[in-house]
Structures are given as C-alpha cells and as structure tokens.
Structure 1
C-alpha cells in the first residue's frame, strides 16, 4: 500500500470535489510538498478528464508529463453516469489493475497523490464494488468534501457512519464555500455543527475551509 496516496470523496456528485482537490494540491505544492492529482474513473468524457483539467487550472499549471502519459486519468468512459453504468454502456470493464499501477507510479514520482473518486462514497464502481469498499480495500486515508448547502449535515453524518463501520481513516474534512450562496445562515450553522461533531467523534481529523476561488476560463 502506498503511504502517500489520499482518496478524496464527498457527500455527493455536486460537493465540489474537483474544486477542493485542485485547491489542496495547489496549497501543498506552495508549501513545498510535491503533489499530483489523479482521477480514479472519469465518466462523461472521451480521451481526457475534465476533472484533471479543472485541477490544473486551479493549481495554475499546464498539463504534466503524467497527464500526457495517461497516468492521472487511467480510465475514461463516455457516458456521464456512475462508473458501473458508464462501463456497461461503453461495453468495457473497468481495469482496476491499470488504475492501481498508475497510482503506484504516481506515488513513486511525487510526495503526495490526491486520488479523486466519482460522486459520493456509496457510488458503485461495479455491480459488486462500491467506492467506499475500494477505499477500504486499498487502505487509503480519506479526505472528505462537504459544503454548507441544505442537507449537508445529514449527508455528512451518514457518510461518517459508513466510514467508521469500514475502519477507514478520516484524515481531513474539507468544507467547501464554493459555489457562492447569498444566504450564509445555513452555511455558517452547518460548518459549526460539523466542526463540533468532528471534535466529539473524529478528534484526530483535520478541518479545512476551502475558500471561494475565481477560476479563469480560457
């Protein structure tokens, strides 16, 4: 097991995982930790990963050699759906050995690898394998992305229960302020509630606030 690989998941497909992943990679690089991002499985694209594109924009860097080699986006499916369905529609099974080998190679070239999943923790990768079970099998510490939108407390606490039941290490919770909301009441209360809950139940985990970032569109 690679000790420098962290899996990034979130409360749902709109939690802002790619946004948070790019932000964290940028911050780690700025603090001297040579960091790369990887997408576990990209759906809804052909030939490239739009999530890796976003990571690089936020990081402020061009495509890397590893991007061009395909190591950061080892499995791409065309239909915008969960991996188990996208794989079925493309009539091609997910090559988990290829993914694992790409992750291992990245972990040898970089100090930190941020491995972003697809959707939330319970998203099926195959008919038999959920994302959360893949994380548990690989033994990756988890970086979990949540936000201040209505319903986030419920989704976050349910995810915490699933994480605990599988013995996964909750390394960091990233509280995403993006996208911007006009009414900050729910956002601020949700942050305070999750902070307090973590202090009681996951005191070892870090809490990071992801600020609103302006992304320059080309």
Structure 2
C-alpha cells in the first residue's frame, strides 16, 4: 500500500521545497521508493522549479514522471497565489488533474509527498481552500515551520486549523535554515515542541538540518 503525505507550511517562505526534499531523501535512505509531487506550481511554464529542486537536492536525477508533468500537473506562469495565477492565465485550477497524477504516482511508489503551494488557507476557489483538499482526500499532513520572528503565531494558527478539522498531523518539520537569531530560534523551537507535545502527542517533530545535502 502506498502512503501519501501532504506537506504544507506556516507561510509561503517557510521552506517547504527544501523540507519536502529532505523528507524524501530520508525515506529513500530507509529503502522506500519515493516520489514528490508539486500540488500547484506558479511562476513557471512547462516545468516545475520546485520539482527540479527536489531532484537536485536528493541527487536522483529526473523521475520518469517528471517528463510528462505527472509530478507537476498544474502550472501557472505568474508568480502569485494559485487562485490569482489561474485567473491571470485565464484558466481554472484542475483539481481532477492533481488527483489523477497523485493516483498514478501512488500506483508506482511506496510514498508520495505532495508539496503544497503556500499555506493551508491558500484558496483554490472562493469556497475551496488548500486545507479542504487535504480534508476531502483524507491525507495525513506534515507542517513546515521555522524560527523566524512571528512564526509561533503562524504555527499555532495552522495547528488550530489542523486540529479543528481532525487532520492527522504526521510530522512537524522544523526548518533550521532560518535560525539566524539563536535566542529567538531556541525559544520558538521550544515553544512549538511543548505545544505539539500537549495537543498532538502522536506527531513526530523533526529538525531539518541546514545544508544537509
């Protein structure tokens, strides 16, 4: 049975692509056959820069499914939020295409990691958010956070949304790349861990090391 995990972040620049690649490499080292998929790519044409980053960081080279964009089935040219980028390109977000690609990857790989676009509340339409996709497909979640000033607020808001929808929080991925202020980072990391331990006792908290590749 294949396992699929959706990876979201506390905001747009939390480091989802880096953490997705790190988690994929970690699982591959354990002997699992892993594919990553980009949920929605913006700011590109005919390619996904995030998928390319995954392959480069894991040093795998392109997957066969990269060539026909199975791993990045929805791409918009303007570097904006998914809903806006779709509108500017005169297209709709094809959620069915994302599902078809996900199911194909699930039939070929042990693990599929879906890197989201922005945070959980990014809208796909006016009444369907990214978090609604996660809920409707019953996907477990990995949340990417970091030690940037203000990230405690963003993290707790994300965790509250996850809890209120009964989403399985598989991992909290703490991205150490942003630990520029040691005092703030230590306090933030400690607070997030204490909160997660209280409210999500089954969740694994993983520190994603900087420059680990």
Q: Same fold judged by TM-score > 0.5?
A: yes
Structure 2 CA distance, aligned partners of 1:83 and 1:125?
A: 6
Structure 2 CA distance, aligned partners of 1:159 and 1:4?
A: 23
Identify the residue that residue 187 of structure 1 maps to in structure 2.
185
How much is the aligned-residue C-alpha RMSD, in angstroms? 1.2
Identify the residue that residue 43 of structure 1 maps to in structure 2.
42
Identify the residue that residue 91 of structure 1 maps to in structure 2.
90
Secondary structure, in 3 states, of the residue corresponding to 1:146?
strand
Q: Unmatched 5+ residue regions in structure 2? A: none
TM-score by length of 1: 0.95
Residue 69 of structure 1 and its aligned partner are, at CA, apart by 2.0
The answer to whether the 8 Å contact 1:180/1:212 transfers is no
The answer to whether the 8 Å contact 1:33/1:111 transfers is yes
Structure 1 CA distance, aligned partners of 2:212 and 2:76?
A: 29
Structure 1 CA distance, aligned partners of 2:202 and 2:131?
A: 20
TM-score by length of 2: 0.97
Identify the residue that residue 112 of structure 2 maps to in structure 1.
113
Identify the residue that residue 197 of structure 1 maps to in structure 2.
195
Identify the residue that residue 23 of structure 2 maps to in structure 1.
24
Residue-by-residue CA offset, 1:182-216 (whole Å, 9 max, x unaligned): x211111111111111111100000000000166x
Secondary structure, in 3 states, of the residue corresponding to 1:203?
coil
Residue 96 of structure 1 and its aligned partner are, at CA, apart by 1.1
Secondary structure, in 3 states, of the residue corresponding to 1:145?
strand
Q: Any runs of at least 4 consecutive aligned residues in structure 1 with deviations exceeding 6 A, and if so which? A: none
Secondary structure, in 3 states, of the residue corresponding to 1:161?
helix
